[in-house]
Chains A and B, each alone.
Chain A
Amino acid sequence: MNPDLLRGNLDLILLTILEHTPLYGFAIIQEARERTDGYFQFKEGSLYPALHRLEQDGLLATQLGEVGRNGKPRKYYAITDAGRQTLTAKRAEFASFTGAVGQLGRS
């Protein structure tokens, strides 16, 4: 897919993936691939700064989970109430945009 589309909608994608289940970084990438049959090919290095930014903005919260392969607890990201509100707004925005583009195509 066009990487600009992925980059421009990264927050929407991450908040959607985390909407129902907290996940850690590597699992988020796996989940995105599996749920879209490989359509989303993240530049993995861009994922972590985005997760940290969403955390700093209060849209995600973190919690420590089971011990990982490096012997330290994995860092799980969970959506916050503010994150859910943002997700709702971003979904509406995205739907309006794609709807408008669709209308252009039909006219």
Chain B
Amino acid sequence: MTATTLELSPAARAYLRHATWGLPRARQREVWDELEEHLLTRAAQLQASGITSSDAAFNRALTELGSPARISAGMTGVYLMPKLILLAGTGAVALSAALYALAGGSGGNTLTLPVLTSPSPSTLCAPQNSAALALPVESRRTKLLCYKSTVKTVGFGPLLSLAAIQAAVGVYGGTVKVAPGDQLTVQLPGGQTSSGGPMINIGEQPFISAAWLFGVLIHLHPHDSATPPILSGYGLPRLTLDDVVIQLNTNSDVNVAREVYFSLAREAVHSLVLQNSEQSVGYESSIDRSETEDGWVQHARHRVQTSLAQGEVVLLIAQHTSNNFFIQSGEVTPDGWVELATPQRKLRFVSDPAQLGSVAANGRTPALLIRVTNIPLNQLKAGIFVPRRATSDPLAARQP
């Protein structure tokens, strides 16, 4: 074979990043070198056999090597699963099953994480297949196991166990550390870190807000990535990141969806409205009523016709004052409607975030509608839309 000097094509470099993404740092370099050598050798062989363009040779070599996600999942299964089983403690069985699925054992790259919800102040419920909690069982339903609990979870929202968070971060080769004060720090292989918390102990296991995990993974993902993060699903929110799907098993509890999309909406306000400035602002997302200077205001229900498909999720953002925003999320129905409740009675939908704020002379509050599912989250602006009817008046109040 004629010796040919080749350099990796950009596509080949992206492929290697992708294929090694889910690995511990120590293994990442080793697997990168091995696959790089394979690609260079095969591309040189193809060139020697008559393919003149190096890009074409690399493309063929990449096609032969197959999906980088499959390599990543396969390697993750080799190097990450035993470590995670040790980390997971009582959650080991559920996690190994989840990672088995991730490694392609059940045909998909999906990591399903069980979410703990609180339907009442004294009850906590988790999917039946999640790790058991050291709490008295209150009831067993078809898919849900509920415990009696005196732990106050108000303010935490739906919860994920620390083991589940470690599993999700581990898929991307990252680590989770618990700092003093029960604050979590997530670090990904590129060195990016994000902190959050605090944790809460329930049934002898540490838990943290489920919405926080999605926020961290989205925040730490490289902004110029060729595979930007994508969210989908309302009752069962899914985050697709580098061909791996992180799915929250919520038992279709819409409160989880509201928390997840509320967290995303804050990012949207920060990037689209505040232009990533450090301005300190407040957010409100209550469902039924809001407290104003004039006391409590019952929300008005708005029904907006969209051209979106069933199941897409729409965010509504309106500005109360210069530093206070109201946020709502809703799921599109089969016939394209989305219902959103807001403290503002009359709305005018705008296409530019800069138009939010001042109420017009006709009493209409400007509001932004953003489709946030199945679009790249690093291009949220592309999701802004104005429905055919650009204003909305409240529906009649529900009969008691």
Contact at A69–B33, with CB atoms within 8 Å? Answer: no
Q: Provide the residues of chain A in CB contact with B19, threshold 8 Å.
A: 45
CA distance A46 to B68 in the complex (A): 10
With a cutoff of 8 Å between Cβ atoms, the chain B residues found around residue A40 in the complex are none
Residues of B close to A25: CB separation below 8 A: 34, 37-38
Are the C-beta atoms of B37 and A45 separated by less than 8 Å?
A: no
Q: From B37, B71, B74, B79, give the contact of A26 (CB < 8 A).
A: B37
Contact A74 B78 (CB under 8 A): no
Asked if A37 CB lies within 8 Å of chain B CBs, one says no
Whether A68 pairs with B75 at a CB distance below 8 angstroms is no
Contact size range, A: 10 to 19
Q: Report whether B34 and A69 are in contact in the complex, using a CB–CB cutoff of 8 Å.
A: no
Distance (Å) between the CB of B22 and the closest chain A CB?
11
Stretch at the interface among A11-19, A48-56, A83-91, A92-100: A48-56
Q: Bits for A36-78, please: 1 = Cβ < 8 Å to B, else 0.
A: 0000000111101110110010000000000011101011000
B41→A49 contact, CB < 8 A: no
* Interface contact B77-A44, CB-CB below 8 Å: no
B42 engages A26 (CB within 8 Å): yes
Distance of A25 Cα from B42 Cα, bound (Å): 11
Kindly list chain B residues whose C-beta atoms are within 8 Å of the C-beta of A26: 37-38, 41-42
Report if A70-B74 is in contact (Cβ < 8 Å); known contacts: A44-B64, A48-B31, A48-B34: no
Instruction: Verify A45–B75 contact, CB threshold 8 A.
Output: no
A52 to B70, CA, bound (A): 14
Closest to B68 in A: A45
Q: Which of chain A's residues have a CB closer than 8 A to the CB of B38?
A: 25-26, 44, 48
User: Which of B33, B36, B74 touches A46 (beta carbons < 8 Å)?
Assistant: B74
Distance in angstroms between the alpha carbons of A53 and B30 in the assembled complex:
14
Residues of A contacting B40 in the complex (Cβ-Cβ under 8 angstroms): 68-70
CA of A76 to CA of B6 in the docked complex: distance in angstroms? 22
B81 to A: closest C-beta gap in Å: 11
Shortest distance between the CB of B362 and any CB in chain A (Å): 60
Kindly list chain B residues whose C-beta atoms are within 8 Å of the C-beta of A72: 33, 37
Closest to B103 in A: A49
Give the Cβ gap from A23 to chain B, nearest Cβ, in Å.
12
A74 to B36, CA, bound (A): 11
Residue on A with the closest CB to B32?
A70
Shortest distance from the beta carbon of A97 to any chain B beta carbon, whole Å: 23
Whether A49 and B74, one on each chain, are in contact in the complex, defined by CB atoms closer than 8 angstroms, is: yes
Name the A residues within 8 Å of B33 (CB-CB). 70, 72, 75
Q: Which residues of B contact A50 (CB under 8 A)?
A: 74
Q: How many Å lie between the Cα of A56 and that of B66 in the bound state? A: 23
User: Hey, which bits of chain B sit against chain A, CB under 8 A?
Assistant: 6, 19, 30-31, 33-38, 40-42, 44, 64-68, 70-71, 74-75, 77-79
Closest 7 CB pairs of A and B: A49-B74, A45-B66, A69-B40, A68-B37, A45-B71, A70-B36, A26-B38
Q: Which residues of A contact B (CB under 8 A)?
A: 24-26, 43-46, 48-50, 52-53, 56, 68-70, 72, 74-75
Q: Could you pull out 17 A-B pairs where Cβ atoms are within 8 angstroms?
A: A26-B37, A26-B38, A43-B66, A44-B38, A45-B19, A45-B67, A45-B71, A46-B74, A48-B35, A48-B71, A49-B74, A49-B75, A49-B78, A52-B79, A56-B79, A70-B33, A75-B33
